[in-house]
Structure 1
């Protein structure tokens, strides 16, 4: 009985996995997001997130997603990888 219950549970979880994986996350606004939220972006982390906030405070809002490359340690490749996860 336990084996049957376990098998049914696994089958149910596997059948729901496409719905979980298909869930989209809203893009993060680089002009308003906190360092903590920015740090959740892949390849950013705490140090670059703090640099983004500091750059934003020192130089004003980013006028395009490409402006993120003005932050030390963030290049065009990183911006391209994040393009669908960030917004203004």
Structure 2
């Protein structure tokens, strides 16, 4: 799943990501113009290494030109 284009409901399907974290991901994405890499997701409040490890294989960042 591309974390730069996923909707709130799509993000909510990831393990350890509920509605509040999905909203936080979208807010961070909007404030910073998107994610440059998947590890940047850990800068979102509430997403630490344990949550990241659960979802790392399910997420990606698609670079747009």
TM over 0.5: yes
Counterpart of 1:36 in structure 2 is 9
Q: With structure 2 as the length reference, what TM-score do the two structures score?
A: 0.88
Pick the aligned partner of 1:55 from 28, 32, 35: 28
Q: CA contact under 8 A between 2:4 and 2:34: conserved in structure 1?
A: yes
Of the two, which has the highest radius of gyration?
A: 1
Counterpart of 2:39 in structure 1 is 66
CA shift for structure 1 position 64? 0.9
More strand by share: 1
Aligned-pair RMSD on alpha carbons?
A: 0.7
Unaligned runs of 5+ in 2: none
Unaligned runs of 5+ in 1: 1-27
Query: How many residues matched?
Result: 61
CA shift for structure 1 position 47? 0.4
Runs of 4+ in 1 over 2 A off after TM superposition: none
Instruction: Give the Cα separation in 2 of the matches to 1:60 and 1:79.
Output: 20
